[in-house]
Structure 1
Amino acid sequence: MTPQPSTRPQDNPVTVIGLGPMGLALAEALLKNGHPTTVWNRTPEKARDLVARGARLAASAADAVAAGPLTVVCLKDYATLYEVLDPAGGAPAGRTLVNLNSGTPNEAHAAASWAAERGVAYLDGAVMVPPPLVGDPGSVFLYSGPREVFDAHRVTLASLGDPRHLGSGPGLAVLHNAALLGLMYATMNGFLHATALVGSAGVPAADFADLAVNRFLPTVVDATLVEQAPDLDAGHYPGDLGTLHMNLNALEHIALTCEEQGVHTAQPRLMREIAARAIEDGHGASNYLAVFEVFKKAAVPDAR
């Protein structure tokens, strides 16, 4: 049976490697919650404030990972992870690495194999909040890898935020990270483009934001997506309240309005093209969510 960590933070020491803005926030949250915290960074000066608050500065990466059972790594990417830890021998056998780099699922799988070859338990992870929100109980942190490894360190990881275990596949955390960030950028681009469109008529962004974000999105978009998400899994897109043909007409009007107002047209044109592709694939009588079938397929060159 895997030993359970103590609920007393002082019994659960942690090492943080990488002291960029996020790494600093991680270490600060651990210190604030009473964990004995060791830190290491290639630029030691970044640890000055943490040391003043009680952190121990390791002399080397090898010293850092040897300091305790759990090391949280927050570096630029997977290549930097290997660059830092390979000269240190990876980590002593029996230790656990929690890697909070960004990257791809294939890179996460490779890192899990790299850790297993060295006898190191491994969790891949993703931080879904900016540095100022690290340590807030509601801040979401995603983890993937062996459940028993996650459970053994859950109490400590909870000092950083709300720890969500997504499954044993090591690539699940970075996959969710890419998906959620893609959603964030698409949503922000949609808002910015819409704001530019009404701004072409002199509408202040603050006025439009109240209407769009506080009124329109929660009622029309958010509730619809949650309610109809099961239909995506079932491939069920009833067009009783509006067909994809009707939505294509609306998308055409959006693109034409942008042209008339002198606003960037690439984004609405792309949305129009995706809807048209779904109709060509036989989903014209379905509702707009049928474009999900287009997104599930790898993109191919348009031969038209």
Structure 2
Amino acid sequence: MAVQRRGNFKISDSNTTEKKIKRYNVHRQTSHSRAFIITLLLLTAICAVVSWLFLSFNDDITETLVSRWEALSQPRVFVVQCSEDYENHKRFPGCTPTKCGRAVSDNVVTKEEAQMLKRLAERGLSLGGSDGGASILDLHSGALSWGKKFVNIYRYFSAEINDVFTEDDFKLYRDVRGRIQRVIAETFGLDPTQMHLTKPTFFSRINSTGAKTTHDEYWHPHIDKVTYGSFDYTSLLYLTDYSVDFGGGRFIFMDPDGNRTVEPLSGRVSFFSSGSENLHRVEKVAWGTRYAITVSFTCDPDHAISDPILP
């Protein structure tokens, strides 16, 4: 009997061990399945993030006209066929575009001058700023973004204005504007005396803050000649560097056969004829802060504005 009890005990122990092994195998398979599912989910999430980043930053751009890493010793010019937009406006010989295109130059404004202009913009915009991602400062009209509206910086801050800006600031601004006008005239074969500064001409500060009003929605495709009417030539002077000071924010020409982009660089000037041959937009800024100056010119003296003067 004792032997039988020992035999029964051994059989019972064997059954228990077998059950434990089975449970262990089931648990191991379940753990492997869970690990596989978790890994698959992680890979799926990573792929989704990578795809989102690719779509956000690539945005169907097919060609980079000038990259942030280049330093141009001479203007790089891209000729495009003029649109019919100019036929709907009065023509001014020596100025109205007959040769259209876009160009980029890195030797009109020095980096030091660009930094001085950036500091000018920072001081002015520090007095206000938009609630959304895009703020402007117009030294000509005095318009300054203020929450969801605009105020006149010369009236609203008349007591402080001489502590914010100096005569040297305005002198540099006027000098740079004149150089931009001359390089546009040389590139497109124009008489610079027939070109006139026009509005709006302004500093812009763009960051990734969400838009609060339509004024903050800077990324929509548009044609300057259609939007503003008076524009014949548009220029952008960049005051910060793409991929260093901000991400996104590239300037995109939207052509029928694909998009072409200019990557901002401090001191770089990009300019173009303002008709529908140069449909364009600005890519959304993803991080950091993008500073630039828009300087626009008209051939119509009735739409001319004067250089700004410190009150």
TM-score (ref. length: structure 1): 0.25
| RCO comparison, higher one (Cα < 8 Å, 6+) | 2
Judging by fraction of residues, say which structure has more helix. Answer: 1
Look at both structures and tell me which one has the larger radius of gyration over its CA atoms.
2
Judging by fraction of residues, say which structure has more strand. Answer: 2
